[in-house]
Structure 1
Amino acid sequence: ESIAIRESYLQAATFVGRQAEKDRLSKALEQAKSDSGSAWLVSGESGVGKTRLLDEIGTQALVQGAIVLRGQGIEDVGGSPLQLWREALRRLIFTAPLDDLAIAVLQALIPDIERLLGCQVPPAPELNGVAARQRLISTITTLFSGQSQWVLLILEDLHWVEQGLEILQQLTRLAPRLPLLIIGSYRSDEESSSVEQLSMMEEISLNRLSFAEIEALSTSMLGQVGEKPEVLALLQRETEGNAFFLVEVVRALAQEAGRLSAIGQTPLPQQLFPQGIQTIVQRRLARVPQGAVPLLAGMAVAGQQLDLNLLPLLADTTNTTMLMETWLATCAETAVLELFNGNWRFAHDKLRAGILDSMPTSTREVWHQTIAQHTEQVYPDDPEQAATLVYHWHEFGDFAKECHYARIAGEYAQQQFLNEAALDYFSRALELTPIDDLLTQFELHMAREQIYHLQGKREEQQVALSTLGQIAADLAAQQGVDKRTEVSLRLANYAEATGDYPAAIAAANQARRVAQGSNDKQNEAASYLAAGITLLRQGNYEEAQSSLQKSLQTARTHTFASLEADSLRWLGVTAFDTGQLEIASQYYAQSLPLYERSKNKQGESAVYNNLSAIAFSQGNKASLAGLSKTDQVFGVAGGVGFAGVEPT
């Protein structure tokens, strides 16, 4: 019998056991069809059969007319920290209408969404980290909520997912009111803090197969041969009910006997896998043509999922001469690789882990270097690959390159509103930055301080500000680079956020004095602006207006358009708070074209929000309706132009 025929019997074996678990999920399927969804978490050790159970439920859902979406957590994650959702969303965008704002927001996860949908949309308005993160989550949940067809969402290997679980948490809350069934899986033998965030999901724990279930699976694959006591004894002894190892034992016995039906006709070995998974890997690789093995090793270092753009370069490196289509088909026939959800991957993470464990450290390090170099070549200046490059350069030991890409990865994570991931990358870059590179240290500490501010972590922010002050003093003394104004402005921002208005004004005044001393007109204007905003918070309108006018004058004189726009807007807020609605409107009208020319969508949104507040105060319903529609275009969250909205 050919390998292909043998594999068809092994992979198409009857689904055995798990009846209680399957019944619970089948019932959940029926409830989801009636707009009463739920969220489940299937746990169990590696190889126990989680994926097979999910495949059964997925097939059942497809037959019943569901949209079946899949995502998978990946070990050694590179690229977007939200990759878990990418493939699912790439399918879902075709099944519900999307407005321009939703398309622009989803572009952070699906860079080619405009090509997929055949449209072009303006960029989404810029928001601060927390608001932007909430907008992304809201857009995704709205996409799921807007489906007319019921949906099964399968998310595997959640133990490897560190980012993006907030989306899953929100969908879990919404599922009972939607035609949505969510089933996730995770390995209980893998340490992970991620699963602690999923306590709202109902858990199903899979144990190893019982002896009766081992007998049923053996019979399904081997027929009457599978019922022989000596065969069953070997399967029980070698696998202890682990489904992955059970199939591997049958595969190995068939290979030695020549065909499945010949198993048991000769004396069975006492032990098949003396070295566990390593023996399995060696047996699998022994079936792969020798010329295909080196490339397989390189792809194992690259990751669980194959990057077909890297494949030709790695083939050249390993002198692999067979066509790539042939190589993929050959590895699939020997059950080393498989095509899953449109992507090639290792058939089981145990196989990849076994290949890596059998590889000498020095060989693996060289592979990491090669893969990093090819990634730079295939994806030049692509920030989405920065995390991948951090990992490979770290494993190779090139810490200068790791530092370089860690900073880029941090900035990219910030853009996707993943503040914790950004902090991790910035912190790693700091560890690798030379102690005498004070300017880079300053910039990295500044990036961390801004994240702490957005997160409301005031203690960490205070420590970061203290460090920034020390580095700024060293920069001034050793290199003549003056960063004290920037630190003072951040101190003013911190004090204003914590309600310490006297300290905020003092810091803003200190920033102004330093800026004036160094003839730094831009930061001088920024200092007047910071002081004016704080004075406004205190209700000191006269002094606030004076400080904001000085900011405006300085910004206009030196053509700092962004500061000019901000100064005009805050002067408008001051006028509004003092009941001068017409003057407030004039200030807003002057600031709007400045924001438009600089493409500052956040500023535009704030102005339209404030104009809506004026229209509401004046009872101007016509203006209010028009402004509210405009605000929706810019993505201002919740209730713009209605009672309770204050100018900002």
Structure 2
Amino acid sequence: MAMRANVRSVFWTNRVSVRRGIVAGVNGLLVGRSAELARLVRVLQSAIEGTAGVALVGGDAGIGKTRLVAELVGQARERGVHVLVGQCAELGDALPYLPLADALRGAQSAVREAAAAHPMLGQLLPGTESAPSTGLTQQRLFGSLLGLLADVQPVLFVIEDLHWADRSTRDLLVFLSRMVQTEQVCVVGTYRTDDIHRRHPLRSVLAELKRLPTVTSVELGPLGRGDLSDYVTTLGEVDARELGEIVARADGNPFYAEELFAAVAEGDSLPDGLASLLMSRVEVLPDAGQQVLRAAAVAGRRVEDELLREVSGLPLAEFEDAVREIVSRGLLRVDGFGYTFRHALLQEAVYTDLLPGERTRLHAAFARLLTSPAELAHHHLAGHDLAGALASSAEAGRLAERLGAPAEAHSHYDQALSLWDRVDGAEELAGESRIALAFRSAVTAADSGDNHRAIVQLRALPQTSEVSERLAYYLYEIDDQPGAIVAAERAVESAEDQAALARALATHTRTLLWSPRHREVEARATRALETARAAGTKDAEVGALIVLASFVEHQGDVARAHELFELASAERTGDLAMDLRARFQHARVHYEQGLLAQAAEIADDGIHMAFDAGLKWSTYGTDLRFLRFLIHYVAGEWDQAENVASSFPVRVGTLSEAVLSSFALFIEVGRDLPAVESRLSWVRPFWSNELAGYMSRGLAAEHALWHGDPAGALEHVREVLATLVPGDNGVLRTAAVGLWALAELGTTEGADDLLERVRFSVERGPTGERGQLGPEGIAWALRAEAEWHRVHGRYEVELWRKVVSAFDFGFVYEVARARWRLAEALLATGDRASAQAEWELARETAGKLRAAPLENALLEFGRRARFGGGAQAEDGPRQGEAGLTAREAEVLRLVAEGLTNREIAERLFIAQKTASVHVSNILAKLEVSTRTQAAAAARRRGLLA
């Protein structure tokens, strides 16, 4: 007995240590998990260094996932990383974003203060009322979380027990896995592999995420006999026979080994099966302790102290004695102002052991004391209180809707609808009619991405104008244009008031815009606009203005399109998606007409709106940032463009990411940055998509031309043209690049076909009814004509002058490239002085842009032409300079002075990341590996003069 007492004392000392966060294991180290921990630490360290990552830790219940992640958390804190830890609960989709709310509540004060500055996150903090929904709530919440992670980085965000995650939390995990790229963010999720059955909702999410390059999968298998023996001996004294039996029975599971050890330590025999083992630990408690533990099991994994005392029904002193005994035995552990089961398996075992009536009464007791609609719905339903469940479900749906959790809102509404016929007075309990609740359910289904479910639900409802209008909208979203038109016409015909008519008319005009009936759009959009203004429905008014503006723009009346877009974006409607859409279209039409300053101003306004609302990554929030990048690029603001491009993901896994990544190639190819090859390799699987292929392959063609591979460039051009609709504006640039490649190859084969494609696009357009072609389109068409003459060996000076003039609406880079060809044509016709003047202007621009390929091509042309001038002598690369550009030579001199990248950036007024890229290029060109070696090589080769 003395030996047993000693074992028990040592055992419980270890249990207290575990609860306080001290590692249980040999000399305070993990046992048998060093390889898995090393993989997680690599993901964490990579995030600290600026490459975000996600780790998914899977394993059976009790295998040690939480213990492993706890060690990672400890190492993160030692590295100065902010830590957020949230836990999912076994309540299904009852509580949306539970682990995020849990993580924010338990975060450091600095993180909580930062979260409070983001209104959507602040709603998840205790004591904060949820604000009314203003549209795109989930996207705003996700954007706000990204903003918070950027504010407090580096961050480790741990989400435990993903197998219990609600739909919105799963969506959040997918969003973070795709969107965090260069942030100092590490996301770690744990899940039980033994719970992930074939139809489990997490299964498809895991399959999707594990394909992403940013995601690391860590699977925990059973510990080997040696490792498990070592682990058991850290728990306390045990003889060889008992150790062998524990190891044999535990089957490599540390938690199971702990429970077996506890049974041995308490002098009990070892029961069969895990459930029997766990309950054997519970059954030694006195009656009061068992009563408290059963109540805690009904609450779930965690329960507040006061709530547990009320439901247990025990006097205060008796309750506290019972809890003290439970905690001392390691069954519950203190967690803030409440208690948590030491392991989910223990909670499940106690809950399963409850008698049916006992379970119902305890759920009802919790329902009487709780105020959260989602928890009430859970307990009412489990307690067979159908009326309470219906009322709570309807309210929980409305709350989830306001919190930006449309999937959970839809689930709650559907649950209320499923109870409707089984409860008297359902409408009064729900607070609205069955039709209204079903309409809410359909809308939230669509908001969560399930348009097909929304369509099915809407078709089952009486076809009021409001129902038909939403049905038309969702049918249009799934490309069922004929069905959308029919539904929209029904919405117009059945409208009972002016507001409903205005929205129906706006949606109707949208469905007609690109249909064979597009000639009806102007009259119908005008009627929609007049009706919306009379009814005061701002969202419908702006929607009608956008459709009407798009129509008249396509018809060639650009001046009127400007006026209409100006009206559409003049004020806020309260519908964030509509407001952002208006600003994007307004900025786009300015950009396409070459009005870059105005386009930039409008785009900036839209971007600020998106950032303030947490919609940076929404459809139009993203489109506005794309457009702003292009404006920087065209206007010659290449340092700003490069800074924006650096945030575009390189390691892409989806089409949207590939499109985003492709934009960065404009600046990276123009400057010949090292990221080009890597970015192209990641985007290559998406080349079958028209937009991704047009941008990335088109720029891959230019990259090939700059690097002396015109045949490869021509192959890219032909593949891109095969995906474009005849007459598409994209044909103009692509064909011009193809003709450049043919000129380099010295062949005319295929040149006439390329020029014919260009002329068809100019005359007919993609629909056969060409409207007004913008200045950039005109310039590319002229460039293609001039390149066609170059292919045939003709240097058309006046045509190249027209190209220069056409691009001079503000496209700085293309003006310089056109001047290069104009200089060649002038030189070929004997006008040397004019050729050198154009060459010098082009070279000046290339230097300012740090457009290395163009700058090198101009220098080569200048050497062949024997152009003189101080600029070349002072800045241009000489023999032996290893092909350094003027800017790289400047950076090299500062490196030799011993300046850091930050100091170089400050000296040259460039971004620190840009300075780093230049240094990397210099090391590669000088064939050295350190800055010291670069300085020595520069002095040896006379490059610092």
User: CA 1:291/1:526 → structure 2, altered by over 3 Å: closer, same or farther?
Assistant: same
SS of the counterpart of 2:302? coil
The gaps in structure 2 that reach 5 residues or longer are 18-23, 611-619, 632-945
Aligned to 1:266: none
Equivalent residue runs for 1:517-536 within 5 Å: 520-536=497-513
Report if aligned partners of 2:373, 2:392 keep a CA contact under 8 Å in 1.
yes
User: Is the 8 Å Cα contact of residues 92 and 143 (structure 1) preserved in structure 2?
Assistant: no
CA contact 2:73–2:83 (8 Å) conserved in 1: yes
Q: 1:619 to 1:307 in 2, by over 3 A?
A: farther
Of residues 57-66 and 19-28 in structure 1, the stretch that sits farther from structure 2 once superposed is: 19-28
- How many Å apart are 1:154 and its aligned residue? 3.2
CA distance in 2: counterparts of 1:412 and 1:628, whole angstroms: 34
Which residue in the other structure is 2:158 paired with?
154
| CA apart distance, 1:425 | 3.3
Query: Given the alignment, which residue of 127, 142, 145 partners 1:140?
Result: 145
- Residue in structure 2 matched with residue 363 of structure 1 by the alignment: 358
Question: Structure 2 CA distance, aligned partners of 1:556 and 1:93?
Answer: 48
**How do residues 389-538 of structure 1 correspond to structure 2 at under 5 angstroms?**
389-434=376-421, 440-451=433-444, 453=446, 460=453, 462-468=455-461, 472=462, 483-494=463-474, 496-497=476-477, 504-515=484-495, 520-538=497-515
Equivalent residues in 2 for 1:249-260 (5 A)? 249-256=260-267
- Residues 444-494 of structure 1 show CA distances to partners (whole Å, capped at 9, x for unaligned) of 4434443565577665455434422xxx2xxxxxxxxxx533344344435
List per-residue Cα deviations over 1:352-372 (Å, max 9, x = no partner): 222222321101101111111
Equivalent residues in 2 for 1:17-36, closer than 5 Å: 17-26=32-41, 28-35=43-50
Contact 2:377 2:392 in 1 (8 A): yes
The AA in structure 2 aligned to 1:512 is V
Look up the SS of the partner of 2:84 in the other structure: strand
CA deviation vs aligned residue, 1:23-51 (integer Å, no higher than 9, x gap): 44455555555445654433333223332
* Residue 197 (str. 1) matches residue 197 (str. 2): no
Aligned counterpart, 2:606? 631
| Alignment partner, residue 296 of structure 1 | 293
Structure 1's 311 and 510: CA in aligned 2 closer, same or farther, altered over 3 A?
same
Identical counterparts, % of pairs: 23
The partner residue of 2:246 within 211, 235, 242 is: 235
- Cα 1:373–1:621 shift into 2, 3 Å: same
Q: Residues 620 and 330 of structure 1: is their aligned pair in 2 closer, same or farther, counting only changes over 3 Å?
A: farther
Shift of 1:337: 1.6
State the 1:165 CA deviation.
2.8
| Change in 2 beyond 3 A, CA 1:32/1:484 | closer
Equivalent residue in structure 1 for 2:375, among 369, 372, 388: 388
**1:132-164 deviation per Cα after TM superposition (whole angstroms, max 9, x unaligned):** 545544543454456553x44433222222422
Of residues 307, 312, 316, the one that matches 1:310 is 307
How far apart are residue 397 of structure 1 and its match? Answer: 1.4
* Contact kept in structure 2, 1:535 and 1:544, CA below 8 Å: yes
Counterpart contact for 1:125–1:634, Cα < 8 Å: no
User: Which ranges of structure 1 fall in alignment gaps of 5 or more residues?
Assistant: 116-121, 257-268, 380-384, 473-482
Structure 1 match to 2:833: none
**Aligned in 2, Cα 1:35/1:26: closer, same or farther, shift over 3 Å?**
same
Q: How many Å apart are 1:601 and its aligned residue?
A: 3.7
Instruction: Report the alpha carbon displacement of residue 413 of structure 1 after superposing the two structures with TM.
Output: 4.1
Secondary structure at 1:362's aligned position in 2?
helix
Query: What is the CA deviation profile of residues 496-535 of structure 1, one whole-angstrom value per residue up to 9, with x for unaligned ones?
Result: 44556565444444433334xxx54433333333333334
Q: Distance in 2 between matches of 1:616 and 1:230?
A: 81
Aligned match of 2:135: 126
> Which one of 341, 348, 352 corresponds to residue 346 of structure 1?
341
Contact 1:96 1:146 in 2 (8 A): no
Find out whether 1:187 has 2:192 as its counterpart.
yes
| More off after superposition, 49-58 vs 501-510 | 501-510
Structure 1 residue 374 displacement after superposition: 1.2
Counterparts in 2 of 1:34 and 1:425: CA distance versus 1, 3 Å: same
Give the match's secondary structure for 2:333.
strand
| Gap change, CA 1:292 and 1:562, over 3 Å in 2 | same
Q: Is the 8 A contact 1:9 1:221 kept in 2?
A: yes
Pairwise CA distance, 1:345: 1.0
CA, structure 1 residues 126+336, in 2 after alignment: closer, same or farther (shift >3 Å)?
same
> 1:103, 1:113 within 8 Å by CA — same for their partners in 2?
no
Counting only pairs closer than 5 Å after superposition, residues 540-555 of structure 1 correspond to structure 2 as 543-555=520-532
Distance 1:498 1:17 in 2: 51
Q: Quick one: structure 1 residues 221 and 440, their matched pair in 2 at CA, closer, same or farther if it must change by over 3 Å? A: same
Query: Per-residue deviation at 1:348?
Result: 1.4
Q: CA 1:604/1:80 → structure 2, altered by over 3 Å: closer, same or farther? A: same
> Partners of 1:97 and 1:630 in 2: how far apart?
27
Q: One-letter code of the match for 1:367?
A: L
In structure 2, distance between residues paired with 1:643 and 1:232: 65
1:585, CA displacement in angstroms?
A: 5.5
**Secondary structure class of the residue paired with 2:303:** coil
Within 2, Cα distance between the matches of 1:204 and 1:449?
Answer: 38
TM-score (norm 2): 0.54
Measure, in 1, the Cα distance between the counterparts of 2:270 and 2:474: 65
Q: What is the SS of the residue equivalent to 1:546? A: helix
Give the deviation of 1:392 after TM superposition. 1.4
8 A contact 1:80–1:109 mirrored in 2: no
Q: Distance in 2 between matches of 1:429 and 1:284?
A: 37
- Shift of the 510–366 alpha-carbon distance from structure 1 to 2, 3 Å rule, reads same
- Give the distance between the partners of 1:590 and 1:36, measured in 2 at CA: 43
CA distance in 2, matches of 1:414, 1:212: 52
Q: Cα RMSD between the aligned structures?
A: 4.3
**Matched ranges for 1:31-46 at <5 A:** 31-35=46-50, 38-46=53-61
**Separation (CA, whole Å) in 1 of partners of 2:73 and 2:57:** 14
In structure 2, give the amino acid aligned to 1:18.
R
Partner secondary structure for residue 621 of structure 2: coil
The 1:447–1:238 alpha-carbon spacing in structure 2 relative to 1, beyond 3 Å, is same
Alpha-carbon distance between aligned partners in 2 of 1:78 and 1:494, rounded to the nearest angstrom: 25
1:221 and 2:235 are equivalent in the alignment: yes
Q: Secondary structure of 1:154's match?
A: strand
| Matched-pair contact (CA < 8 Å) for 1:238–1:273 | no
Indicate the structure (1 or 2) with the bigger Cα radius of gyration.
Answer: 2
Q: Aligned-pair distance for 1:619?
A: 4.6
Q: Is the 8 A contact 1:165 1:197 kept in 2?
A: yes
**Matched residues, number:** 588
User: Counterparts of 1:465 and 1:644 in 2: how far apart (Å)?
Assistant: 41
TM-score (structure 1 length as normaliser) = 0.76
Q: Tell me the distance in 1 between the aligned counterparts of 2:145 and 2:12.
A: 39
Looking at structure 1, the residues matched to 255 and 324 of structure 2 have their Cα atoms a distance apart, in angstroms, of 22
1:297-353 deviations in whole A, cap 9, x for unaligned? 2222011012456346436xx033139887765542231222458863111122222
Which among 206, 226, 233 is matched to residue 212 of structure 1? 226
| CA distance in 2: counterparts of 1:510 and 1:276, whole angstroms | 61
**Structure 1 429/493 Cα, relative in aligned 2: closer, same or farther at 3 Å?**
same
| Deviation (angstroms), 1:179 | 4.6
Q: Deviation digits for residues 178-198 of structure 1, max 9, x if unmatched?
A: 554444332232234314422
Higher RCO (CA 8 Å, separation ≥ 6 residues): 1
CA-CA distance at 1:637 after TM superposition: 0.6
Q: Which residue of 2 aligns with 1:83?
A: 98
Tell me which of 275, 278, 290 is aligned to 1:277.
275
- Structure-2 separation of matches of 1:26 and 1:71: 19
